[in-house]
């Protein structure tokens, strides 16, 4: 349409020797077929050019108007505007989590991360799934998670973790491979449907592999075997969201220098804040439940503490730990 406008305007300027504005105006009223009179009397050449212009632009003007109307009214404009706003947010987002897939598992992951206050973005290929999610302010990127370009558009280079919740194990393996290739030190958590996929996902580069069905079944069986214990653990998880009981990990590097290389007894966490140190992870990755006070907190080790939200906040304040 713009090409025809340009050709028409220049045609009247060259053929009829009209000024630019009159030539432009004549081109517009000719293309739109509004039926206005001629700006100036046309010569024979001008009439032939006008006829050529009418034939050339027949239907183009109407098609352009209908396309613009469809673009705005049909929702494509809103979709493109949404994608533009998302890409604008993604450029400045860092230390976030990428969730691949928004099925039952992916949605639960998103809800939990929202409660924890951890920034995240969801990559989902189904437009209807995205449109139906109106209850939460989730950040969606429409696309195939197995496409490396989509992961890069989710700003994976600045992300701290990726969680692949796709229903097919083969797709999860591909996501893990792509993510590990892009960022070597990325924390990768993947869903697995079949036990045989666990080793493949580990080999592909996943740090953790979870089987939701297996965990759910074990949890239900444990409710029969040890119902009080399981209910207590569930209460800790649920209350933690609302400011109740929490279990938090404290890395060696998060401790101030004056608290590093001290024994657990020297930290005196319970006396100072009321929290209880219930676990210790050695630099070799071994977990110790109810560690002795003589155990020394050394580099690459971690502490696990149990307490109320207020107690853990007090612990963070005393030890100078910056945590949510």
CATH code at 127?
3.40.50.720
Question: Does one domain contain both 65 and 105?
Answer: no
Same domain, 118 and 13: no
Residue 324 lies in a domain: no
- Asked if residue 99 and residue 10 are part of one domain, the reply reads no
State which H helix or E strand residue 320 sits in: none
- What pLDDT, in 10s, does the model give residues 164-218? 999 999 999 999 999 999 999 999 999 999 999 999 999 999 999 999 888 888 8
Clarify whether residues 123 and 192 are in a common domain: yes
Task: Write b or e for each residue in 78-89: b if 16 or more Cβ atoms lie within 10 A of its Cβ, otherwise e.
Answer: eeeeeeeebeee
Q: Give the domain CATH number at 54.
A: 1.10.287.70
Question: Which of helix, strand or coil describes residue 307?
Answer: strand
CATH of the domain at 299: 3.30.70.1450
The Cα 261–Cα 300 span in angstroms is: 11
* Phi, psi for 144 (deg, rounded to 5): -85, 120
Please list the pLDDT of the chain residue by residue as tens digits (324 residues). 788 888 889 988 999 888 999 889 888 888 777 767 788 888 888 888 888 888 877 777 777 777 777 766 766 666 677 677 777 777 778 899 999 999 889 999 998 888 878 899 999 998 888 878 765 678 888 889 998 899 998 889 999 999 999 999 999 999 999 999 999 999 999 999 999 999 999 999 999 999 988 888 887 887 787 787 777 777 666 444 445 567 788 888 888 888 888 888 887 666 667 788 889 999 998 999 888 888 998 999 998 888 877 887 787 787 777 654
Residue 312 belongs to domain spanning:
227-319
Residue 40 lies in a domain: yes
Structure tokens at 136: 């939460």
Claim: this prediction has a pTM higher than 0.75? no
- Overall domain count for the chain: 3
> Looking at the structure, do residues 124 and 208 belong to the same domain, yes or no?
yes
Residues 120 and 187 reside in one and the same domain:
yes
Name the strand (E) or helix (H) holding 315: helix 309-319
Q: What is the DSSP letter of 252?
A: G
Last residue of a domain, one of 177, 192, 215: 215
Are 231 and 206 members of one domain? no
Domain co-membership, 128 together with 160: yes
Q: Do 257 and 303 belong together in one domain?
A: yes
Residue 100 is predicted with a pLDDT of: 95
- Strand boundaries in the chain, DSSP class E: 97-100, 120-124, 140-142, 161-164, 187-191, 208-210, 245-251, 276-281, 287-289, 302-308
Domain boundary among 71, 101, 123: 71
For 162, other C-beta atoms within 10 Å of its C-beta total 30
Is 179 part of a structural domain of the chain? yes
- Shared domain for 289 and 172, answered yes or no, is no
Residue with tokens 């960022």: 183
Residues 183 and 292 in one domain: no
| 244 occurs within a structural domain | yes
Q: Which residues pair with 308 in a beta bridge?
A: 245
Residues 197 and 244 in one domain: no
Q: Which residue carries 């580990």 as its tokens?
A: 202
Strand pairing of 140-142 and 208-210?
unpaired
């Amino acid at each position: 349409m713009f090409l025809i406008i340009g050709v028409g305007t220049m045609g009247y300027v060259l053929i009829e020797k009209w000024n630019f504005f009159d030539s432009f105006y004549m081109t517009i009223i000719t293309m739109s077929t509004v039926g206005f009179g001629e700006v100036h009397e046309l010569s024979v050449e001008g009439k032939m050019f006008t006829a050529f212009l009418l034939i050339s632009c027949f239907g183009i003007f109407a098609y352009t108007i209908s396309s613009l109307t469809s673009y705005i009214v049909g929702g494509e404009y809103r979709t493109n505007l949404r994608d533009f706003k998302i890409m604008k947010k993604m450029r400045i987002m860092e230390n976030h989590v990428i969730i691949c897939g928004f099925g039952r598992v992916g949605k639960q992951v998103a809800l939990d991360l929202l409660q924890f206050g951890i920034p995240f973005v969801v990559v989902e290929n189904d437009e209807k799934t995205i449109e139906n999610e109106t209850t939460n302010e989730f950040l969606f990127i429409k696309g195939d998670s197995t496409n490396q370009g989509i992961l890069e558009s989710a700003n994976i280079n600045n992300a701290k973790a990726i969680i692949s919740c796709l229903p097919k194990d083969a797709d999860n393996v591909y996501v893990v491979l792509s993510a590990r290739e892009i960022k070597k030190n990325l924390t990768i958590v993947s869903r697995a449907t079949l036990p045989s996929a666990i080793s493949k996902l580990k080999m592909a580069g996943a740090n953790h592999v979870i089987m939701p069905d297996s965990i759910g079944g074990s949890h239900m069986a444990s409710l029969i075997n040890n119902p009080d214990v399981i209910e207590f653990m569930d209460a800790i998880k649920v209350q933690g969201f609302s400011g109740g009981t929490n279990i938090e990990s404290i890395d060696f590097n998060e401790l101030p220098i004056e608290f590093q290389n001290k024994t657990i007894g020297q930290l005196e966490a319970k006396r100072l804040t009321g929290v209880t140190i219930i676990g210790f992870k050695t630099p070799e990755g071994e977990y110790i439940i109810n560690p002795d006070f003589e155990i020394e907190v050394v580099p690459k080790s971690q502490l696990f503490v149990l307490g109320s939200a207020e107690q853990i906040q007090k612990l963070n304040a005393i030890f100078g730990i910056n945590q949510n």
